[in-house]
Amino acid sequence: MAGEVEVLGDVAARTPKDALYGRVVREVAELAGREVPNKLQSNGDGARNDSVFFLQAGPDDSLRLWVGTGTGEPNLRAIRSTQIAPDHPTDLRVSGFTIPFRVASVRMQDGSRIYLGLSERDELRVLRSLRSRFFLLWLLIVLLGFLIVFFTTRRMLSHVRRISEAASRIGHSDIHTRVPTTGRNDEVAHLALTLNGMLDRIENSMHQLHSITDSLAHDLRSPLTAIRGQLEMSLTDPRHADPSLGETSEPIVTAIEELDRLTEFLNTSLDVAEAKADALRLTRTEIDLDDLLRSMVDLYEPCMSERGLRIRLISAGSLKIEADAALIHRMIANLLDNELKHLPAGCVVTSRLQLVDGHAELILEDNGPGFDTEISAHLFECRVKGKGSKGHGLGLAFVEAVARTHSGTVEALNRSQGGAMIQVRLPLSSGQKTENAVSRLATAN
């Protein structure tokens, strides 16, 4: 600005003070005014530019030349009342203008002074509009960023959720399915691929385990079949029916019974081994535990009363689970066999079936001597059995294995009032859950 003032001063000094003088000065002032970007034409007359003025005052402070909007009188008055340092721009407040002019002055040789005033109004306006635009842009960018992050995260998370859902399904049902892959090349796709790779390895080792147990079972069963067959044939052989030889069949009978026990032991220990590796193969059907327990109690009741035991059944009615029938049958038979083998005469066995937290809860309790305190912490481990037990120590390990593969739990403890209690919890079938919900609704209404 000081530079422009000098130019003006220079022009004023050299130019003869004729008619042309005013025009030249006006044009220079116009040019100076045009340098302000984004000028606002205001104060009505439009053509005039009120953000710039040029004023020449005589030595007596009279107005000699005025270029600008209006008469220039207010500006001159303001200049008179303000000390304006030469060669140094000063703020000048002019009545009628809210924003001060920046004024520079230069003294001419003839004692007059030239003032050039520039309003900062336009700059301020430009700055303000820049600021608001910048703020708007910033807001837009932030919003856009937020939206991008939101949708990307949601998409990614939905992917992760699908993967984790698939993974949990795999955990509980079958090992053959895989988590979904996207085919894209990102971290989530990598996660899916890694998971699938892991599942491949698990399936592989499970397959290995199955083929080992299968071939073990096969290799043991074939000779067992042959031996059992031979024994049975020699038992039904008419020569043994001879009364004088009657007693010779006794060892054969014992051998057959031992073979059957061995077979059962083989089956159970392989089942327990597979269940411990979460690899037990299930064929699920819907089982009504109430029905099953009733026929089990029917089956065991005569044998129990033969030994002076009583058995009671307390059940609220039908409770359906989705489970492998053969395994559940063997599990309950196992529990009842246990009671039969370990209880002294006179005891009462209570089997209770109830619905607890969406689970079927089967409780078997007695008022017998309870579990040996020495082994009660290891009841569900293989080969753990009480001192007097003649079993193979797989009974409760098998019960636990079956409950576990059906996503259930088993607890065994000695009751405070004496006797043992075993509690098996198995998840209800989905059908039964809806039934319960419906009946709850019905009672609520």
Residues forming contacts to another protein in the complex (CB under 8 A) are 213-214, 217-218, 221-233, 235-236, 249-250, 252-254, 256-257, 259-261, 263-264, 267, 270-271, 281, 283, 295, 298-300, 302-303, 306, 326, 329-330, 333, 336-337, 340-341, 391
Containing 76, the helix (H) or strand (E) segment is helix 73-81
In the complex with another protein, which residue's Cβ is closer, 10 or 264? 264
CB distance 375 to 412 below 8 Å: no
In the complex with another protein, which residue's Cβ is closer, 281 or 378? 281
CB distance 112 to 56 below 8 Å: yes
Give the nearest distance from C-beta 327 to another protein in angstroms: 10
In the complex with another protein, which residue's Cβ is closer, 242 or 264? 264
In the complex with another protein, which residue's Cβ is closer, 57 or 327? 327
In the complex with another protein, which residue's Cβ is closer, 27 or 306? 306
Report the alpha-carbon distance of residue 364 to residue 384 in Å, rounded: 20
Phi and psi (nearest 5°) for 443?
-70, -30
Give the nearest distance from C-beta 420 to another protein in angstroms: 17
Give the nearest distance from C-beta 244 to another protein in angstroms: 17
In the complex with another protein, which residue's Cβ is closer, 8 or 336? 336
The torsion of the CA quartet 260, 262, 267, 268, rounded to 10 degrees, works out to: 110
Per the listing, tokens 């066999």 go with 337
Kindly report the CA angle at 342 between 267 and 306, in degrees rounded to 5?
100
In the complex with another protein, which residue's Cβ is closer, 102 or 341? 341
Give the nearest distance from C-beta 150 to another protein in angstroms: 47
Q: Please, which residues have CB within 8 angstroms of residue 428's CB and are 6 or more apart in sequence? A: 319, 320, 321, 355, 358, 359, 360, 436
Give the nearest distance from C-beta 163 to another protein in angstroms: 28
Give the nearest distance from C-beta 206 to another protein in angstroms: 13
Report the alpha-carbon distance of residue 5 to residue 27 in Å, rounded: 14
In the complex with another protein, which residue's Cβ is closer, 91 or 306? 306
Q: Please, which residues have CB within 8 angstroms of residue 355's CB and are 6 or more apart in sequence? A: 316, 319, 361, 428, 436
Q: What is the DSSP annotation of 171-194? A: HHS-SS-------S-SHHHHHHHH
Give the nearest distance from C-beta 261 to another protein in angstroms: 6
Give the nearest distance from C-beta 417 to another protein in angstroms: 26
Q: Please, which residues have CB within 8 angstroms of residue 419's CB and are 6 or more apart in sequence? A: 347, 365, 366, 367, 368, 369, 370
